[in-house]
Structure 1
Amino acid sequence: MITSSRETWLSRVLLVLLMAFTIVPFVSLFITALHPPGTYPGGLALPETPHWSNFVTAFQSAGMADMLVSSVFIELGVVPVAVLIGTLAGFSLGHLRPPGHKAIFIAFLLGLTLPFEGVVVPLYYQIRDFGLLNTRWAIILPLIGLYMPFAVMWMRAHFVNMPEDLSEAARLDGASTWQLFTRIHLPLSLPALSSLAILLFLWTWNQFLLAIVLVDDPAKRTMAGALGAFQGQWGIDIPLLCAGSLLILTPTLLVFLVFQRHFVTALMQGAVKG
């Protein structure tokens, strides 16, 4: 099917509008962060003297070095474990298909409909009974469990479309189930694995609700969770608040920009396979 010049022009205009709609808020946030502290900037006018020191002040005043260490620790506790368990379960449900796999699939599917807000209250009492309140484990352990439905469904969608001929040929050569997984299917799953890891990284870094409910110490929260304490301290200082918000958002933007090719590859792979 040949695309007409009019359709090409309209698609480009739409793309430019979407880009502007996405970029303008970040530009506004950045320009506001450059204004003198304590002022109330309006519009997108650049200040005569950019106050780059706002970023240094926000970083030091909010103790973002401790927040960064805490976020990295939480990421290392959540993402590798969730990806590992989700991959093993997805391979089992999507390729091995053990007895009862349909019922298990439905259970995980129902788990996708469960919002974090719906479990935060019982989760609070459960974490309290375990004696984990105000620790990083209060964020790590619930997030691993809450990410499981999506992680399993994501990896199952990949393994269910893998050709059966590969497994049959490997088994004829004497490969065990573990060898079939590690030597055949796992290397072919790198796009799906990397995209899943990127998504879980972004969601964990931006996790706000569980961090402020289960952890009182801002230095033990995620960067996004610590934003609540930072806003309470600098809520009336708009430039400093914008500078702090940009510092918190920057790592997620960098990760997505660096690994966007892997993410798009996994999405295109799933779209082609149906």
Structure 2
Amino acid sequence: MLAVFLAVVLIPFLSLLLAALQPAGTPLTGFAWPRGIHLENFGHAWSAAGFGTLLRSSAVIALSVVPAAVVCATLAGYALATMEVPGRGKLYAYLLLGLSIPVEVTVIPLYYDLRAVGLTNTVPGLALAEIGAFMPFGVFWMRAHFATMPRSLIEAARLDGASSWTTLWRVLMPSSRPAVTTLGVLYFVWSWNQFLLPLVLIQDPSRRTAPAGLGLFTGQYEVDVPLLAAATLIVIAPVVLVYLFFQRHFINGVLSGALKG
């Protein structure tokens, strides 16, 4: 069974890699072993699409979104799980509504709201939009995690005179690293792969993210499959590297949530 799932995951990547190593302009309809290794496709795709600037923009936005979103979700989840916040049930239900509303429905009103305050075509505007879009899941994730923490641990800290801030950072956070790391990896993947928000909110081509740039690149080279495959591998490489680096913490966080749930 594991071998079947492994094949399902790896076959698309293998198909992309084999296509990227074909000579540029080669028509492809399926798996085909490359006639030689043509690594120049990656260099051509990099220069033609301007991936240096696009990847830098994606990195800036992801590094702006992920820390802020993780901190906000952690604080909100901690408050809703452990504190007697007035109307916390209604507030939590209101936040969960965000999980049922697709981004496509909100992107046009969001554009006009950000334009009214001068935040369109800017990194802060796009970062705020992504943080807001990611917050419902993050609050849900962290609230579920803190709700499973032993109440006796929290009560003991309060009896010892610890403030809510000290209880969170000194008592609960050391055992919450897998959950926080998992949320951070998910946020990074979602921010990096975000396509619609950067496409609508960023009109300057030099400020667009890698997925948005890949979409424009696809329109220009739609018949050159090897070049498109090389460009796609360039865009997904950072996501794969981040996941491989944090995979142990990610799996621990997912399994911990599954076992506690």
**TM-score normalised to structure 1 length:** 0.92
User: Among 198, 214, 225, which residue is 2:212 paired with?
Assistant: 225
Structure 2 gap segments, 5+ residues each: none
Confirm or deny that 1:268 pairs with 2:261.
no
Q: Percent identity?
A: 48
Which whole-Å deviations, capped at 9, do the CAs of 1:156-203 have from their partners, x for residues lacking one? 001111111111211222111111111101222111110000000000
Match 1:118 to one of 90, 99, 105 = 105
**Once the 2 structures are TM-superposed, how far is the Cα of residue 218 of structure 1 from its aligned partner?**
3.0
Inter-partner Cα distance in structure 1 for 2:187 and 2:9? 22
Which of 54, 62, 82 is residue 75 of structure 1 equivalent to? 62
**In structure 1, how many angstroms separate the alpha carbons of the residues matched to 2:128 and 2:98?**
16
In the alignment, is the contact (CA less than 8 A) between 2:120 and 2:126 conserved in 1? no
| Residue 49 of structure 2 corresponds to residue 49 of structure 1 | no
Q: Give the superposition deviation at 1:104.
A: 0.9
Q: For 1:163-174, what aligned pairs fall within 5 Å after superposition?
A: 163-174=150-161
Q: Decide whether the 8 Å contact of 2:81 with 2:146 is kept in 1.
A: yes
How far the C-alpha of 1:48 sits from its partner, in A, is 2.0
User: Deviation digits for residues 9-37 of structure 1, max 9, x if unmatched?
Assistant: xxxxx222222122111111111111111
1:112-157 deviation per Cα after TM superposition (whole angstroms, max 9, x unaligned): 1111011011111112212222222332111111111111111000
Tell me which structure has the larger Cα radius of gyration.
1
In structure 2, which of residues 144, 155, 166 is the aligned counterpart of residue 157 of structure 1?
A: 144
Aligned residue pairs, count: 261
Q: Does the CA-based 8 Å contact 1:78-1:144 persist in structure 2?
A: yes
1:97 equivalent to 2:49? Answer no
Give the letter aligned to residue 68 of structure 2: V
Question: Which runs of 5 or more residues in structure 1 are unaligned?
Answer: 1-13
CA distance in 2, matches of 1:92, 1:261: 28
For the aligned residues, what is the CA RMSD? 1.2
Look up the match of 1:138.
125
Separation of aligned partners in 2, 1:97 and 1:111: 23
Q: Compared with structure 1, are the counterparts of its residues 97 and 161 closer, same or farther at alpha carbon in structure 2 (3 Å cutoff)?
A: farther
Shift of 1:206: 0.2
| 8 A contact 1:138–1:215 mirrored in 2 | no
Work out whether residues 212 and 228 of structure 1, in 8 Å CA contact, stay in contact via their aligned partners in 2: no
CA drift of 1:232 comes to 2.2
Distance across 1 between alignment mates of 2:175 and 2:36: 53
What is the one-letter code of the residue matched to 1:128? R
Find 1:199's aligned residue among 186, 189, 201.
Answer: 186
Amino acid in the other structure paired with 2:42 = F
Deviates more, 1:255-264 or 1:244-253: 255-264
